Amino acid sequence: MLRISTLCLLLFLGSCYSFDSQTVNNELQWNNKYNFINDIPPILFHYHHGVLAGSYPPGRETTEISFNDVSRFLGHVCLCGAGGYRISQIATDLIKGTGKPLERDEFTLISSRDHTVSDVIALILGCNRRNDPEKNQYLIDETIKTPKRVYHYYIGYHPQKKAVHIVYNKYLLIGNELMDKLWKVEVTYDKNPDSVNQADIKLFQDTMADVVKEVLSGKKEGLFEAELIEYDEFLLLFQHLLLK
């Protein structure tokens, strides 16, 4: 009887472990059509706060942030998360080159729009948004005039005195007309899910999977424009915004 009870207990504990591991397994967390996100490489950072806190195993001083981490933070896989992740990839690759991993939370971000894309960039790079000007690392410059669904991001990295300017031509993904239609579907669904027909829901879901993959692949010509800029130019813009 004791052997049977022990066996049952072991089987129960084993099933709990299996269940837990499956629920955190990337392949099972999202719809199967998003399995491709498991192939997206993470962004590697050195992080002195993690070293100080003793967060990492002995001898390790780096941490990774993956697109799956971003999706967990947002609660779903979406285009805004993909855009923010890809911009962070481009920025860190340009600044780092072939050098060592960059220090997380030593970046400053200026965005032409106050939206989820820039929030994701700030999350990944460790840019804090504070009322105290001396601690604020994330600013919005709404004076930057751009065509519809064209966004500008300026990212500075202080240890190396480097900065990048990235333009996200989001409209190139599927065009403004279809994006407008999908936006209306989303707004309507937020207000009353039952009022949206299944055909529109399917269109939204299928398109979302396609554009997320397109953004993360980095293969869409002209979708992102990126260049290194003078750090002093970036600093001047940042300080000007702080004084507003």
Contact yes or no for 115/146 (Cβ under 8 A): no
Q: Look up the pTM and report it.
A: 0.87
d(CA 89, CA 91): 6
Banded model confidence at residue 44, pLDDT cuts 50, 70, 90: very high
State percent of the chain over pLDDT 90.
84
Banded model confidence at residue 65, pLDDT cuts 50, 70, 90: very high
- Which CATH number describes the domain made up of 40-242? 3.30.1330.130
| CA-only gyration radius of the chain, Å | 21
d(CA 41, CA 117): 19
What strands, in cross-sheet order, belong to the sheet with 138-140?
A: 138-140, 107-111, 150-157, 162-169, 224-229
Give 145's Cβ-side CA count (13 Å radius). Answer: 0
Non-local (6+) Cβ contacts of 208 within 8 A are 77, 78, 79
Mean pLDDT of 2-29: 42
Q: Per-residue pLDDT for 243 more than 60?
A: yes
Which DSSP string corresponds to the chain? -HHHHHHHHHHHHHHHHHHHHHHH-HHHHS-GGGGGGGGSPPEEEE-HHHHHHT-SPTT--EEEE-HHHHHHHHTS--HHHHHHHHHHHHHHHHHHTTSPPEETT-EEEEESS-SHHHHHHHHHHT----SSTTT--EEE-TT---STTEEEEEEEETTTTEEEEEEEEGGGTT-HHHHHHHHHHHHHHHH-GGGS-HHHHHHHHHHHHHHHHHHHHT-STTSEEEEEE-HHHHHHHHHHHHT-
The pLDDT value given to residue 82: 99
Mean pLDDT of 83-104: 97
